[in-house]
C-alpha cells in the first residue's frame, strides 16, 4: 500500500515587527532593548522527540473534514488568537520525501502577519524570536521561515502588504522602522513617504501624533488606503478597461 | 485509520498563446482562423469514469520517491515534452475534502507556460482549448484554470513573465498580441513598448523582421532582457544596498 502513511500538515510562519531585549537580539543596542524593532517569528519548543528541544512553526495535521486554510487557522488558534492575524497566505508546499522521519509528511507552508501594536497571549511553550537570531529549529522549518521572509520582502516591493504589519495609524518614522525590520536593511523615510504617497498606498489622516519627550514639531499620522492586499503598481498600460 | 486513503496529486494548467480555427474559438474572425491569437490551455479527455468524457488538466499521483515539482514535471512529460516549458510555478493547493469522489485527493496546482512558436507533439487524448471556450471540465479543474489565469495576469503586470509566452525575438506587434491574449483585453502597442522599455524588460536586438505581404517599413525586433522571472518594478526606495 504505497502512500497510505502520508500525512498532510500546515506550517505557518507568523511574523510581527517587535522590540527585543538586548540579550536575545543580534542587532541590539546597549539599553537593554534593541534600538530598532526587528522582524520576529512565532515558535514553540518541542517537549517530545523527535527533535525534542528544537523550535517549530505552529501547524499540524490536516483533518478529514477541513481544507488546508481552515486547518492552518485552527492550528494557529492553539498558539495565538487568530483574530490578531491581519494577513494569511499560502506559500509553497514542502514535499521532499525525506523532510521528516517516516511517516512522510507533506507540509503546506503559510505566511501570517500580526500588526506592530498587537500583543497576543501565548501558551508557555511558545515565544517570539528575532529572525536575525533563530534558535535550533526543527526539521526544515528554518527553510520555511526563509521562504516566508523572501515572500514578504518581495510583496513589500510591489504590494501594500505592510498594512498587515502596521498599526491602524502611524507616523512615517514608525512605518520606516517596520519596513527596515521586515526588509533587513535601511530605508530612507523621505523616499518611502514619496513612493508610497505617489502610489496612493498610504493616506494622511489629517491628525498628528502626540509630541515625544524630545518635543519638536508633531508628526503627521498616516493610514493604509486599502485594508486588503493589492498590487500597487501594475503597468498602467495593462489595466483592464473600465 | 483516518487519513490513510488521502492521495496527493499535481495538476498543471499549461498555457500557450495560439491561433484557433474559427469554429472552436469564441472571439474568432470570419476567415476560418481567429483574427487574434488566444490564450489556450492543454487538456486531456477522460476515457474512463469517474466523469468519463470530461476534460482534465495533466497531472497525477505523487510517488513516494519524488517531491511535487518533480512529480508535476514527470506527469507533464506524458502529455508534452517538458523541455518546451519555459516556466513552471506552484499555484495554491486545492484541498476541499469533497473536491473529488472518495478517496480524498489533495491537489497541488501549477502554472506552466509554453512559448508562442513552439508546437509540442501531443498524445491522441490531448489537445489545446481556448480558455474563452472551455469544454465540460472534470471536478474542480476549471477553478484551477481560473486561478492560473489570474496569477498569469497579475504577474504580467509586475514581472517579466511574458518572456515564457514569447518567441526568442519578436516585433512589438506580436508582443502586443501575446499580452492581449493572456490578459483577455486590448492593450495599446505604443504604451506597452514605452513601459516595457523604460523598465528594461525588453531590449531591441538591432535587427528588423522581414516585411510582411503588406510591405511598409520593416518592424524592429526585440527580446526579453532576462530569461528568468524577476519583479520588474520593485520600489526603488526599497532596493537592498549594493
pLDDT at B21: 78
Q: Is B64's CB within 8 Å of A3's CB?
A: yes
Distance from CA of A117 to the nearest CA of B (A): 23
pLDDT at B3: 47
% of chain B at pLDDT higher than 70: 87
pLDDT band at B239 (very low <50, low <70, confident <90, very high): low
pTM value is 0.87
Beta-strand relationship, A87-94 and A105-113? antiparallel
In contact, A170 and A222? CB cutoff 8 Å: yes
pLDDT band at B211 (very low <50, low <70, confident <90, very high): confident
pLDDT at A240: 57
In contact, A110 and A72? CB cutoff 8 Å: yes
pLDDT at A4: 54
B212: exposed, middle or buried (C-beta count within 10 Å: 0-12, 13-18, 19+)?
Answer: exposed
In contact, A39 and A26? CB cutoff 8 Å: no
pLDDT band at B30 (very low <50, low <70, confident <90, very high): very low
Region of poorest pLDDT, from A102-106, A154-158, B128-132, B234-238: B234-238
Phi, psi of B94 (to 5 degrees): -100, 110
> What is the grid cell recorded at A100?
521528516
A63 part of contact set with chain B, CB < 8 Å: yes
| CA angle (A80 as vertex; A76, A85 as ends), nearest 5 | 80
What mean pLDDT is predicted for residues B16-20? 92
Q: Is A90's CB within 8 Å of B95's CB?
A: no
CA nearest to A238, candidates B233, B194, B79, B157? B157
pLDDT band at A214 (very low <50, low <70, confident <90, very high): low
CA–CA gap between residue A103 and residue B1 (Å, rounded) = 14
What are A12-21's pLDDT values in tens digits? 999 999 988 7
| CA angle (B198 as vertex; B195, B202 as ends), nearest 5 | 80
- Cβ atoms within 10 Å of B95's Cβ, excluding its own: 23
- Give contacts of A 153-192 with B, CB under 8 A: 154, 156-158, 179, 183, 185-188, 191-192
pLDDT at A31: 47
In contact, A55 and A47? CB cutoff 8 Å: no
Cβ-Cβ contacts under 8 Å, B4 against chain A: 4-5
Q: Is A6's CB within 8 Å of B5's CB?
A: no
- Kindly list the distances between the CA atom of residue B26 and the CA atoms of B21, B29, B129, in Å, as whole numbers in the listed order: 10, 9, 11
Region of poorest pLDDT, from A22-31, A198-207, B157-166: A22-31
CA nearest to B53, candidates B145, B149, B137, B153? B137
What mean pLDDT is predicted for residues B32-55? 88
Range among A32-46, A86-100, B208-222 with highest mean pLDDT value: A86-100
What mean pLDDT is predicted for residues B188-194? 91
In contact, B133 and B41? CB cutoff 8 Å: no
Which residues pair with residue A40 across a beta bridge?
A: A16, A130
pLDDT band at A30 (very low <50, low <70, confident <90, very high): very low
Say if residue B23's pLDDT is above 50. Answer: yes
What mean pLDDT is predicted for residues A61-90? 91
Q: What is the mean pLDDT of chain A?
A: 88
Dihedral sign (CA A32, A33, A36, A41): positive
Measure CB to CB from residue B67 to each of A61, A96, A187 and give the nearest one: A96
Q: What is the mean pLDDT of chain B?
A: 88
% of chain B at pLDDT higher than 90: 69
What mean pLDDT is predicted for residues A155-165? 92
- Give contacts of B 108-127 with A, CB under 8 A: 108
CA–CA gap between residue B150 and residue B38 (Å, rounded) = 15
Measure CB to CB from residue B237 to each of A93, A192, A238 and give the nearest one: A192
Say if residue A212's pLDDT is above 90. Answer: no
pLDDT band at B178 (very low <50, low <70, confident <90, very high): very high
> Cα B18 to chain center, whole Å?
11
> Could you tell me which residues come within 8 angstroms of residue A207 by beta carbon, excluding any fewer than 6 positions away?
A169, A220, A221
CA–CA gap between residue B111 and residue B240 (Å, rounded) = 29
What mean pLDDT is predicted for residues A222-230? 91
pLDDT band at B242 (very low <50, low <70, confident <90, very high): low
Amino acid at each position: 500500500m504505497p502512500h497510505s502513511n502520508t500525512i498532510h500538515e500546515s506550517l505557518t510562519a507568523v511574523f510581527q515587527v517587535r522590540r527585543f531585549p538586548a540579550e536575545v537580539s543580534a542587532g541590539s543596542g546597549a539599553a537593554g532593548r534593541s534600538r530598532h524593532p526587528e522582524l520576529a517569528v512565532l515558535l514553540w519548543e518541542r517537549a517530545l522527540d523527535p527533535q525534542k528541544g528544537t523550535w517549530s512553526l505552529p501547524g499540524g495535521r490536516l483533518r478529514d473534514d477541513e481544507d488546508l486554510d481552515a486547518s492552518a487557522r485552527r492550528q494557529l488558534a492553539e498558539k495565538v488568537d487568530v483574530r490578531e492575524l491581519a494577513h494569511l497566505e499560502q506559500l509553497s508546499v514542502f514535499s521532499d520525501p525525506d523532510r521528516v522521519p517516516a511517516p512522510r509528511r507533506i507540509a503546506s507552508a503559510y505566511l501570517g502577519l500580526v500588526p506592530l501594536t498587537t500583543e497576543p497571549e501565548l501558551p508557555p511553550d511558545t515565544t517570539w524570536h528575532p529572525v536575525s537570531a533563530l534558535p535550533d529549529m526543527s526539521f526544515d522549518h528554518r527553510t520555511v521561515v526563509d521562504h516566508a521572509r523572501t515572500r514578504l520582502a518581495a510583496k513589500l516591493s510591489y504590494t501594500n502588504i505592510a498594512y498587515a504589519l502596521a498599526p491602524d495609524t502611524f507616523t512615517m518614522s514608525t512605518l520606516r522602522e517596520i519596513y527596515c525590520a521586515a526588509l533587513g536593511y535601511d530605508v530612507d523615510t523621505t523616499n518611502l513617504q514619496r513612493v508610497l504617497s505617489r502610489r496612493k498606498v498610504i493616506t494622511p489622516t489629517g491628525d498628528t501624533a502626540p509630541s515625544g519627550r524630545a518635543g519638536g514639531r508633531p508628526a503627521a499620522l498616516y493610514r493604509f488606503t486599502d485594508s486588503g492586499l493589492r498590487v500597487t503598481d501594475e503597468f498602467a498600460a495593462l489595466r483592464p478597461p473600465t
